[in-house]
Amino acid sequence: MNSAPEQTTADDEFLWLEDIYGERQLEWVRSQNAVTEGMLIDPGFLTLEGGVLEVLDSTDRIPMVAKRGGHYYNFWRDAAHPKGLWRRTSWESYRTEDPEWEILLDVDALSASEETEWVWGGALFLRPPEGQEYTRALVVLSPDGGDAARYREYDVTTRSFIEDGFDIPTAKSRISWAGPDALYVGTDFGPGSMTSSSYPRTVRTLTRGQDLSDAELYFEIPAEHMMAVVVHDSTPGFERDIAMDTIDFYSHRTHVRRGGEWVQLDLPDDVNVSLHREWMVLRPRTDWRVAGTTFPAGSLLVIGFEDFLAGDRTLRVLFTPDASTSLQSWSWTRNYLLLNLLRDVSSEILILDPADGWSAESLDAPALHTVDAYAVDDEDEEAGDDYWVVSTGFLTPSTLSRGTIGSDHRPVKATPSFFDESAYAVEQHFALSADGTKVPYFQVAAKDLVLDGANPTLLSGYGGFEHALTPAYSGVIGRGWLERRTPDGRAGVYVLANIRGGGEYGPGWHAAALQENRHRAYEDFAAIARDLVERGVTVPALLGCTGRSNGGLLVGNMLTSYPELFGAISCGVPLLDMRRYTKLSAGYSWIAEYGDPDQPEQWEFIRTFSPYHLLRSGVDYPKTLIWTATSDDRVGPVQARKMAARMEALGVKDVWFHEALEGGHAGASDNRQAARMHVMSYEFLWKALTDSL
């Protein structure tokens, strides 16, 4: 099959902007930033920024914790510690209003001492010998907020990095403990060790004191696959090595180590696999026929792992989806299995009992809310069947509760109120898409909303990678949008779209908008925009939309294919040049989602949703802000740069660009940067819709 020819400056005049750190390119960025900041930043902007930063830095928000042994670990950022503190406390202290925290690592102090702007990426603990406390961890730190990170061995008892301990240089690594003196390391070992998607192709065993270059090959995959990972399951009595060959986002092959060899599990590539003690849990992404029975996509199945390896295919059905209900996640306590479901984008929780034939009981969950339940520590002798519950809604500050299966859960911590939630109401509506599909969306608006089309409205969406958008409390949205008022007293209306491509209704809802069917996601979003107008909520001149990453591609298509529906668009860390996305940053890994533009027959449908190529002169485009981050090594900044540059070259008015010089794919590496990012988007949209920029 022939590939499409490589592009040149003859058909892409802005290829030069793809040099991310070039002097000329960064000078272009700085000049664009100066114009955008000069237009947006005024006393009102700074006041709002201060209010948003107060939300992000609030010391009253919930410090979420992970239990390891007898301690509860948390990572925390606030005004005094913008880069953050890694810390821990006891359960008795945690449940008080003002816990006493033991500081393990001060990332601000570390950054100052090492003259590197470290960004916290997490910690991977080594399981201690039975009866002993956790002491060793691999601390993950990014030098710029990107996906590439350094792994360094740390002792939480001495609160210091271990001299001559494991230290894996900065790269897009995937690492796990193989034992107290060994790691399974997937990283950049040099030419040939990374996939076309920029992730590890090989996993090697690194022993203590050994040079990284001498690590022995343990597992490898073809270069065109996405990523190789090996993890060691150290559960007592069920120790095993598991290797994953991730072919693409939705296909993978699972292997277990038996007799010194890798044994591939006899499963379709699109079946999700989870091993827990004696059980193997399976979730097919498409209908799966096995042993004479067809199991629908999105169902959850279980079988004894050793039974499966011995050839048994007697699968027990734990969950079957229907037109309204999907499985989002699951979590094991010591003796039970928790299922987190969505029914028309509202949460339901089931508790399954394997000892009672997998009988199910429900946990109460309020309508139009998100409720997630998961285990506290399934290996704890006393608390093994304890579970956390996180409950949140658009107008309900988040609450963290803890319970034991068989008894009620009780609140432990709650997010404070950051705006007057009592003045607003949440509604769920359904729009009719172009092909007749009903598409849900949430509307958050003042209780006295007048349906006369005069309300500034912000429509947000994503629609990709089976990621579900669900109700959640946000003081940032409350202060940044809902509390704003027009001169005649109209409040901002916030709308969250649950379009196809997401996971709100399981894998079928996602698959409906893959590749050549991508337009269904955009038709769904456009249908919601029209429904808001038809219902009298707003009019196109007062309707803005926003999206980030794949959501940036979404709103980029609103800009180029549905410009008449919107008055303003905020497009963040976006994919926009779908001709070259596979050659930029981690783009190759998304071919399963969008298609391969190097295959001419696939480029024919991809080009129809490539905003960079859909731009035309003479079109009355909505006012547009395109924003990104220099250090984003997932999507990268160059697509945003090129889009803004081409729009300007076409003479498009009212287009602005801003690029944070740090912050990674999140667009921000600390709360100060996050506040600036949020307010820049909200301020632009509000001014574009209600004022003259």
Q: Which sign does the torsion angle of CA 415, 420, 422, 423 carry?
A: negative
What is the longest distance spanned by two Cα atoms in the chain? Answer: 75
Strand partners for 385: none
Task: Tokens for 90, please give them.
Answer: 């006891």
Task: Write phi, then psi, for 455 (nearest 5 degrees).
Answer: -110, 120
Is 429 among the catalytic positions?
A: no
3-state secondary structure of 55: helix
3-state secondary structure of 406: coil
Task: Write phi, then psi, for 128 (nearest 5 degrees).
Answer: -80, 165
Through-space distance between the first and last CA atoms of the chain, rounded to whole angstroms: 50
Is 549 among the catalytic positions?
A: yes
Give the span between the Cα atoms of 157 and 492, in whole angstroms.
50
Question: Which among 111, 326, 549, 585 is annotated as catalytic?
Answer: 549
- The helix (run of H) or strand (run of E) holding residue 623 is strand 623-629
Question: Which among 665, 669, 678, 681 is annotated as catalytic?
Answer: 665
**Cβ–Cβ < 8 Å for 664, 144:** yes
In 575-618, at which residue ranges do the beta strands (DSSP E only) sit?
none
Task: Tokens for 489, please give them.
Answer: 């007293």
Single out the residue of 333, 329, 327 nearest to residue 375, CA to CA: 333
Give the span between the Cα atoms of 419 and 34, in whole angstroms.
32
Residue 274: how many other CB atoms lie within 10 Å: 14
Task: Tokens for 101, please give them.
Answer: 């925290």
Single out the residue of 166, 92, 80, 82 nearest to residue 123, CA to CA: 166
3-state secondary structure of 354: helix
Among all chains, which residue has been given the structure tokens 């010089």?
661
Among all chains, which residue has been given the structure tokens 């479901």?
341
Active site (catalytic) residues:
549, 665
